[in-house]
Structure 1
Amino acid sequence: MSEKKIIEIIKKYIKSKKFDKKASLSNIKNWDSLTHLNILFSIEKICKVKFNINEINNFKNIDEIIKSVKKKNNLIFNHIGIFVNNIKKSEKYLNNFIAKSKSNKLILDKKLGIKAKLFFDEKNICYELVEPYGKNNPVSGYLKRGTNILNHIAYTSKNFDKTMDELKSNEFMQISKINYSKLFKSRIVFFISPLNYIIEIIELKK
């Protein structure tokens, strides 16, 4: 969502074409509590984002709102990654456990040492089944230890390099090098969060 579109939404509600983006909201003409909520709800609907209560109550100026929307639009949930010994057997289990909507074809990625397949449920939530391939693969160790089988949460990012810098500044630790994924046809990288869960960042090509 462009900054221009957000400004258009704001202009519609405050009925003014000129305002300072960094001015206090309380100093902007026609910006009262009801207008504040209407503007944020409209931005949520059009920009397909969600503000939390803390954000709604603490936005100080328009610039903060714009930055928040841009940040939310940068990372978009993509899938839940699950490590399995055998994709075909695991898919049969998922068919019984979750009502399947669709799935894509199995992809062999020799460079990453995996086989992978995307599986979508009725609500279009995506699950990536990842099977080990070859001796030097990133999956077998987890399967043998029985740890991190529900392995990661993946997000797409429009600004891949910037997202990496932001994660590092927020104490996320990079645990893989940047690789190219045949499944997603773009760059990917893995981080571990301060809460000890793994996330994958997938470059969303413009």
Structure 2
Amino acid sequence: MSSPARPELIFDHVGLVVRDVKSGFANVCSLLPIVAATKVYDDHVLGVSVQFLRDAGGVMFELIAPFGDNSPVAKIAASGRGVINQVAYRVGNLAVAADYFRARGATPTGAAKPAIAFDGAPVQFFLTKEFVVVELIESEGASREFVPV
């Protein structure tokens, strides 16, 4: 039996875990050439607060902070380890992409859930054999509004 063909994966962002969005924003902006940012999204379903930043070269970063008592990033934020937490890709069909990742040994960290920052589009996270977290976003593109910083 052959494995499924790789679906189209479109780079979206690199996720950075921070203790809180406000101080994370100040620290990242003081180091990197950040030129624009979105509002902060508090996501009760995913247990995170996030904000997207864009640098002068067009690379997008997502600041990810714990939100609520059961946040999946609370331990990472407290420890300061693994803070470059994820690389995220948009996909046309999350189920197909999930099958592809599973067929290659990546383990889902949980079920797909709607994400406020992506207009309710489902997202799902996978841990690869190399311990890299990959976020898959079923979206043609987010309607994030960036403003200059």
Relative to the length of structure 2, the TM-score reads 0.85
2:106 to 151, 172, 191: 172
Deviation at 1:205, TM superposition (A): 4.5
Question: Aligned equivalents of 2:37 and 2:104: distance in 1?
Answer: 35
CA contact (8 A) 1:101 1:124 kept: no
Match of 2:146 in 1: none
User: Match for 2:20: what amino acid?
Assistant: N
Written as runs of structure 1 = structure 2, the 5 A alignment for 1:65-144 is 71=6, 74-144=8-78
1:61-97 per-residue CA deviation (whole Å, 9 max, x = no partner) reads xxxxxxx8xx47x101100001111111111112221
Kindly tell me the number of residue pairs found equivalent between the two proteins: 136
1:122-143 per-residue CA deviation (whole Å, 9 max, x = no partner) reads 1110000011111111111122
Q: Residues 95, 205 of structure 1: CA spacing in aligned structure 2 closer, same or farther, 3 A cutoff?
A: closer
Match of 2:86 in 1: 152
Deviation at 1:147, TM superposition (A): 2.5
CA contact (8 A) 1:155 1:200 kept: yes
Name the structure where helix makes up a greater proportion of residues. Answer: 1
Unaligned runs of 5+ in 2: 142-149
Give the SS at the match of 1:162.
Answer: helix
Unaligned runs of 5+ in 1: 1-67
Question: Aligned equivalents of 1:113 and 1:191: distance in 2?
Answer: 17
2:124 to 171, 186, 189: 189
Relative to the length of structure 1, the TM-score reads 0.62
Written as runs of structure 1 = structure 2, the 5 A alignment for 1:40-55 is none
Name the structure where strand makes up a greater proportion of residues. Answer: 2
Structure number with bigger Rg: 1
1:5-27 per-residue CA deviation (whole Å, 9 max, x = no partner) reads xxxxxxxxxxxxxxxxxxxxxxx
Match of 2:134 in 1: 199
User: Aligned-residue CA RMSD in angstroms?
Assistant: 1.7
Question: Aligned equivalents of 2:130 and 2:66: distance in 1?
Answer: 26
Give the SS at the match of 2:82.
Answer: coil
Q: Deviation above 6 Å: which 4+ runs of structure 1? A: none
Question: Aligned equivalents of 1:194 and 1:136: distance in 2?
Answer: 25
